[in-house]
Amino acid sequence: MMNNSKLIFCSPFFWKKIYLYKKYPIFKSAEKKIFNRSSIIPKIFTNSNIKIYSGKSWHRRIINKWMIGFKFGEFTWNRKLALYKAKQLKKKKKK
């Protein structure tokens, strides 16, 4: 019987962070910067502050137990909302 478990993807840089986090207690208090948004959040980072890079800016997040297993990129917004004045004016005129 085969096990249908999906492999957890983490970049090599991220594996190094996990190793340092486990081995040295000083890394628990340091702020963690995440560049690779496609890595999956491990249990080790529960209740810790992290900064996720979205390509232009840093987003600060506190990891809770509900975020574990999701990707870091799901908790950042990297697109600007398209707000067009013409559409907004049309909506106001209709009301």
Residue-wise pLDDT for 38-56, tens only, equals 788 888 888 888 888 888 8
- The pTM score is 0.61
Residues forming beta bridges with residue 32, ordered by sequence position: 50
The structural domains of the chain, with segments of one domain joined by +, span 12-94
- Alpha-carbon distance of 95 to 81, in angstroms, equals 23
Tens of pLDDT, residues 23-36 = 877 766 667 788 77
3-state secondary structure of 94: helix
Smallest CA-to-CA distance from 46 within 12, 23, 21 is with 21
Task: Report pLDDT for 1.
Answer: 47
Contact 36, 63 (CB under 8 A): no
The CB-side HSE value for 52 (13 A sphere, CA atoms) comes to 21
- Alpha-carbon distance of 87 to 85, in angstroms, equals 6
Between 5 and 12, name the one with better pLDDT: 12
Task: Report pLDDT for 8.
Answer: 66
Q: Please say if the pLDDT value at position 2 is more than 70.
A: no
Radius of gyration from C-alpha coordinates of the chain = 19
Q: Please say if the pLDDT value at position 69 is more than 70.
A: yes
Fold for 12-94, please state it: 30s Ribosomal Protein S19; Chain A (3.30.860)
